[in-house]
Amino acid sequence: MSSNDTLSFTELDRRLREIPDGPSAILNSPPPFRVANAVGTTACVLTLLTIGLAKATQAAPWMLTVVQVGFAVMVLAWLPTFVRSCWVLSLTMWQWQKDLVEQLDHDRSEFMAILAWLHQQPESALIECQRMVAVSHRQLIAKIGMLAGGLDRLGILPALAAAYLFLRNTGDILDMPAWQLLIAVFLILLWMIVTMATLMRIRLQLYDALLTEALAMRRKTAQESAA
């Protein structure tokens, strides 16, 4: 994609995405793991739909087969990601200080290049973009509060609770009580919504930090010029 000097969120996001990952690249899931996660998610949805169909109609033998196969595929597809996540978590906890320092050194020059580009933009455009980020952030927080209340602080716990409800009924999953099924589906949806919203908040906070710093640089330059 060709470079564009005009300030826009599209151009800002393009420049951010072009920043090399650096030491933190270990946190990114490799392509095979992303494919496995997609397969696991598809199997999970298929399993839930089949269980719901069995609850709404008379259960048939093929439903049990679909649920068992779907559940097995889901576990096998998500297991590599779980194992890798545990390994990455252990590694990052062991050498967090070294990784943090190396990542900061790596990011410093990259972000300074973006700030230099933002510094060239009109102050009015920077203020307008910052105002839009603030409005979007407030709206996102309000939506999270409406959908999840304070449960967004639970992190991955809702997904683990849903997995427990399914695992405790693996013996005869089609006989899983309807109330447990509804709770499990709700917890999975809650976790997906909160995860997506959290990623959006992190991105908006990064936009705000860059715009705020660029405005501070412009005002400092203006004061130095006036003096």
- What pLDDT is recorded for position 19? 81
- What pLDDT is recorded for position 85? 75
Number of Cβ atoms within 10 Å of the Cβ of 29? 15
Tell me: the pLDDT tens digits for 16-42? 888 877 666 555 667 777 788 888 888
Q: What are 156-160's contacts with CB under 8 Å, separation 24+?
A: 156/191, 158/187, 158/188, 158/190, 158/191, 158/194, 159/187, 159/188, 159/191
Residue type, position 30, single letter:
P
- What pLDDT is recorded for position 26? 54
Q: Could you tell me which of 64, 44, 47 has the C-alpha nearest to residue 175?
A: 64
Between CA 40 and CA 176 the distance in angstroms is: 21
List the chain domain ranges: 23-94, 96-227
- What pLDDT is recorded for position 94? 76
Contact 75, 195 (CB under 8 A): no
Spans of the chain below 50 pLDDT:
1-3
Phi, psi of 95 (to 5 degrees): -125, 40
H or E stretch at 88: helix 61-94
